[in-house]
Amino acid sequence: MEFATFADRAAEIEAEPADLETVDHVRALFEESTGEIPEEDGADLERGDDELEIVARYVQGRVFPAWESTTLDIGPSSCYEAIARAAGTNVGPADVEDRLAELGEIGDVAASYEYGGQRGLGAFTGDAGGNALTVREVDETLRDLAAADGSGSADRKIDLLFGLFNQCSNEEARYLARLVLSEMRIGVGEGTVRDAIAAAFEVPTERVERALQVSNDYGRVARVARDEGLEGLDAMDLEVGRPVQAMLAQTGTVTGALEEWEEAAVEWKYDGARVQLHYDPDGIEASNAETRVFSRNMEDVTTALPEVVEFAEETLEVPVILDGEVVAVDGDGSPLPFQEVLKRFRRKHDIAKAREDVTVRPVFFDCLHAEGTDYLESPLTERHDQLVELLAEADEPDSDSLDEIRGLSLLWRTDDPDEIESIDAEALESGHEGIMLKDPNSAYSPGRRGKHWRKRKPDVETLDCVVTGAEWGEGRRATFLGTFELSVRNGDSGDSLETVGKVATGITDEKLADLTELLEPHVQTEEGQRVELEPAVVFEVGYEEIQSSPTYSSGYALRFPRFRSVRHDKDPADADSLERIERIRDE
Ligand code: AMP
- Residue 41 has a pLDDT of 60
* Residue 137 in this model has a pLDDT that exceeds 80: yes
267 lines ligand 1 (CB under 6 A): yes
Q: What are the residues whose beta carbons fall under 8 Å from the beta carbon of 171, sequence distance 6 or more? A: 4, 7, 8, 11, 111
**Who has greater pLDDT, 39 or 434?**
434
Tell me the mean pLDDT in the region 405-426.
88
Q: Say if residue 396's pLDDT is above 80.
A: no
- The pLDDT, as a whole number, for residue 303 is 94
The residues, ordered by sequence, that sit 6+ positions from 534 with a Cβ below 8 Å of its Cβ are: 522, 523, 524
CA of 185 to the centre of ligand 1 (A): 30
pLDDT exceeds 70 at position 123: no
Instruction: Give distance in angstroms: CA of 259 to centre of ligand 1.
Output: 22
CB of 242 within 6 A of ligand 1: the answer is: no
How far is Cα 9 from Cα 6, in angstroms, rounded to an integer?
A: 5
Task: For the chain, list the domains and their CATH numbers.
Answer: 3-180 (1.10.3260.10), 248-455 (3.30.470.30), 461-586 (2.40.50.140)
Considering only residues 188 and 49, tell me which one the structure prediction assigns the higher pLDDT: 188
Decide: 160 and 144 in contact? Cβ < 8 Å: yes
Residues 252-265: what's their mean pLDDT?
Answer: 92
Would you say residue 38 has pLDDT above 50? yes
Catalytic positions, written as ranges: 269
Residue 84 or residue 423, greater confidence: 84
**What pLDDT, on the 0 to 100 scale, is given for residue 450?**
85
Give the H/E segment covering residue 454. strand 449-456
Contact by Cβ (8 Å): 434, 456:
yes
Q: In this structure, how many other beta carbons lie within 10 angstroms of the beta carbon of residue 131?
A: 11
Is 51's C-beta closer than 6 angstroms to any atom of ligand 1?
A: no
Using only C-alpha atoms, the chain has a radius of gyration, in whole angstroms, of: 30
Question: Residue 401's pLDDT is what?
Answer: 59
User: Is residue 22 pLDDT above 80, yes or no?
Assistant: yes
Contact 263, 415 (CB under 8 A): yes
**What is the rounded CA–CA span in Å between residue 451 and residue 94?**
50
214 vs 378: CA distance, rounded Å: 14
Of the two residues 261 and 423, the one the predictor is more confident about is 261
Return the pLDDT at 506: 56
Mean pLDDT for 430-446 is: 93
Question: How far is residue 509's CA from residue 511's CA, in Å, rounded to a whole number?
Answer: 5
Tell me the sheet residues that pair with 558: 546
For the segment 283-338, what is each residue's pLDDT rounded down to a tens digit? 998 788 999 999 998 999 999 999 999 999 999 999 999 999 999 999 888 899 88
Distance CA 480, CA 153 (A): 70
Half-sphere exposure of 253 (CA within 13 A, CB side): 13
Average pLDDT value for the chain: 90
| CA nearest to 534, candidates 468, 464, 490 | 468
Scanning 59-92, the segments in alpha helix (DSSP H) are 76-87
Query: Taking the C-alpha atoms of 340, 345, 349 and 355 in order, what is their torsion angle to the nearest 10 degrees?
Result: 50
Res. 437: pLDDT tops 60: yes
Q: Does the pLDDT of residue 40 top 70, yes or no?
A: no
User: Lowest-pLDDT range, 144-158, 260-274, 405-419?
Assistant: 405-419
Across the range 44-67, mean pLDDT stands at 86
Pocket of ligand 1 contains residue 249 by CB under 6 Å:
yes
Which range has the worst mean pLDDT, 68-72, 204-208, 365-369?
68-72
Q: Whose CA is nearest to atom 22 of ligand 1?
A: 269
- 169 Cβ partners below 8 Å, 6+ apart? 4, 7, 115
* E strand or H helix at 338: helix 338-345
Closest approach atom of ligand 1 to CA 453: 21
pLDDT at 476: 82
Q: How many residues does the chain have?
A: 587
CA 269 / ligand 1 centre spacing (Å): 6
Ligand 1 centroid to residue 274 C-alpha, Å? 7
Q: What is the mean pLDDT of residues 337-358?
A: 91
The per-residue pLDDT for 431 is: 82
